[in-house]
Amino acid sequence: MKFLDQVKIYVKAGNGGDGSPSFRREKFIEYGGPDGGDGGKGGSVILKSEQGLNTLIDYRYQQHHKSERGENGMGQNRTGKSGEDLILKVPLGTQVFEEDNKTLIYDFIKAGEEFVAAAGGKGGLGNTRFKSSTNRAPKKFTKGALGEEFTIWLQLKTIADIGIIGLPNAGKSSLLASITNANPKIANYQFTTLNPNLGVASYDDKEITLADIPGLIEGAHEGTGLGIQFLKHIERCKTLLHLIDITNHDLEAAYNQVKNELKNYSQDLLKKKELIVLNKVDLIDSVLAKEIIKEFSKKIDGEIITLSTLEKKSVSKIKSKLISYVT
Separation of alpha carbons 206 and 163, rounded Å: 18
Give the chain's domains with CATH numbers. Answer: 1-156 (2.70.210.12), 162-326 (3.40.50.300)
pTM: 0.73
In order along its 327 residues, the chain shows pLDDT tens digits of: 466 788 999 999 999 999 999 998 877 666 678 999 999 999 999 999 998 787 898 999 999 999 999 999 999 999 999 999 999 999 989 999 999 999 999 999 999 999 999 999 999 999 999 999 899 889 999 999 999 999 999 998 877 888 888 888 777 778 888 877 655 443 333 333 345 677 777 777 787 888 887 666 554 444 444 445 667 778 888 899 999 999 988 999 999 988 988 888 889 989 999 999 998 888 989 899 899 999 999 998 888 988 887 788 888 888 888 888 876
Write the DSSP string, 170-228: SSHHHHHHHHSS------SSTT---S-EEEEEEETTEEEEEEEPPPP-TTGGGT-TTTH
- The set of residues, in sequence order, having a beta carbon less than 8 Å from that of 286 and lying 6+ positions away, is none
